[in-house]
Amino acid sequence: MPDPVITTHLFDTGFAVGTSMVLTVVAENADTYTWQRTIGGGEPEVLSETTNTLTINPCDGGDEGNYLCTVSHSVNPGSAFTACSVVCRVPRTVEVVQTITPSMSLCLDPLPGQPRFHPGDGYSPTVTGIGRFRYRWKKDDVLISDGVKYANTSGLAESPADVHLQINNPELSDQDTYQLEVVDFAFYGWDYANLITSDNVTLLVDQQAPVITLQPQGVTVDVPNPWEFTVEACTGGSATYQWQRDNAPWANIAGATASSYASQGDSAEADSGDYRCQVTNDITTTVTDEVTLLVNADPADPPNKQLGGNRMTFGSLHGSRGMIIGESIHDST
């Protein structure tokens, strides 16, 4: 007869004190199962169970240790074994308490790239139990992960202070319910039988008018050098931009609908004037400061000298008697 082969091994796991602890081994070519338990650095203890499933109900802290199952067959001297570590801990509890009103202004702290909301400011997670634990955040019962929008969405924590969710640049779409899930670190992986979930907490986002965080600056250039205006704003979501020029009255510039507006090709003196930008979100419009563009003539190309209605030119006359330098007045009429 072939030697026994284990097809389903034991794996490190954990159970809450007071619940049923069940370990199962699946093997082929086997009819004998011997279970042993080692607690701390003590001697292995042979357990009474002789089937492929070991059940301790209820388990307690004294059942925590290393378990080994040896499988064999009554007519074959061959054997195989599998082992795992088991922990039994008091169940944790988790609660996310609202400590301040979690309503905020999207542009409360309009610094580019800075976090806009931190549940540590609005929620105080309380996790009971001993030792480290794993945690993960959900939004409307859907797991969220780190990225541009969220940070600190899951991990291994030493204390509740480590489990604050960070939401960058909140938008109205972030107004939702959030949940915190925890499981004791001793429970390897996410043991759903021992997973603890907080009650829903709600993030409220108050939208407001766009806040200009970087005003455009006046520019002075020489022909034909380029020029550019730029604006940055905290808009609380989608926004539109419209650059204008003071043509008495202010008038929209066709096609100037981005956060930056620049010279179209070589600059010209005719570009000189006053400019501004309108930034609009779903609430209202905010207008930037008015700035001045001054485009100076090319110093290498001075204008012609003017004398009344005539143009004065200088030249030379070469004759048979020598060279006469003189000036002539050309009537412009």
Do 10 and 43 lie in one domain? The reply is yes
- The Cα–Cα gap between 31 and 46 comes to 17
Write out the chain's pLDDT in tens, 333 residues: 788 999 999 988 878 788 889 999 999 999 999 999 998 888 999 999 999 999 999 988 889 899 999 999 988 888 999 999 888 776 666 655 443 333 333 333 333 333 333 443 444 556 666 567 888 888 989 999 888 788 888 888 877 767 777 777 666 677 778 888 887 766 556 666 667 787 777 776 666 778 888 999 999 999 999 999 999 987 767 789 999 999 989 999 999 999 999 999 999 999 999 999 999 987 889 999 999 999 998 776 655 544 444 444 434 444 444 443 444 444 444
* Short-list 292, 302, 295, CA closest to 223: 295
The answer to whether residue 257 is domain-embedded is yes
Domain edge (last residue) among 280, 296, 312: 296
User: Which residue, chain included where needed, has tokens 């965080």?
Assistant: 213
Do 193 and 105 lie in one domain? The reply is yes
Do 103 and 69 lie in one domain? The reply is no
Do 185 and 223 lie in one domain? The reply is no
The answer to whether residue 157 is domain-embedded is yes
- Count structural domains, the chain: 3
Is residue 140 within 8 A of residue 149, CB to CB? The reply is no
What pLDDT is stored for residue 55 in this prediction? 95
**CATH number of the domain within which 183 lies:** 2.60.40.10
pTM of this prediction exceeds 0.75 = no
The answer to whether residue 317 is domain-embedded is no
Pairing of strands 103-105, 154-157: unpaired
Do 198 and 103 lie in one domain? The reply is yes
What pLDDT is stored for residue 308 in this prediction? 42
User: Which residue, chain included where needed, has tokens 């600190």?
Assistant: 152
Instruction: Kindly calculate the radius of gyration of the chain based on its CA atoms and give it in whole angstroms.
Output: 39
Do 60 and 124 lie in one domain? The reply is no
Do 119 and 190 lie in one domain? The reply is yes
The answer to whether residue 330 is domain-embedded is no
The answer to whether residue 322 is domain-embedded is no
What pLDDT is stored for residue 161 in this prediction? 67
Do 71 and 130 lie in one domain? The reply is no
Q: How many residues does the chain have?
A: 333
Do 289 and 198 lie in one domain? The reply is no
Is residue 81 within 8 A of residue 71, CB to CB? The reply is yes
The answer to whether residue 320 is domain-embedded is no
Do 25 and 64 lie in one domain? The reply is yes
Is residue 291 within 8 A of residue 250, CB to CB? The reply is no
What pLDDT is stored for residue 131 in this prediction? 64
The answer to whether residue 258 is domain-embedded is yes
What pLDDT is stored for residue 45 in this prediction? 94
Domain edge (last residue) among 37, 72, 89: 89
The answer to whether residue 280 is domain-embedded is yes
- The Cα–Cα gap between 124 and 4 comes to 53
What pLDDT is stored for residue 192 in this prediction? 60
Do 14 and 58 lie in one domain? The reply is yes
Task: Give the rounded distance of the alpha carbon of 227 from its chain centre.
Answer: 33
- The Cα–Cα gap between 83 and 58 comes to 21
What pLDDT is stored for residue 295 in this prediction? 96
- The Cα–Cα gap between 184 and 157 comes to 10
Domain edge (last residue) among 168, 184, 206: 206
Q: For residue 333, with 0-12 CB atoms within 10 Å meaning exposed, 13-18 middle and 19 or more buried, which class applies?
A: exposed
233: containing domain? 211-296
Do 56 and 115 lie in one domain? The reply is no
- 193 three-class SS: helix
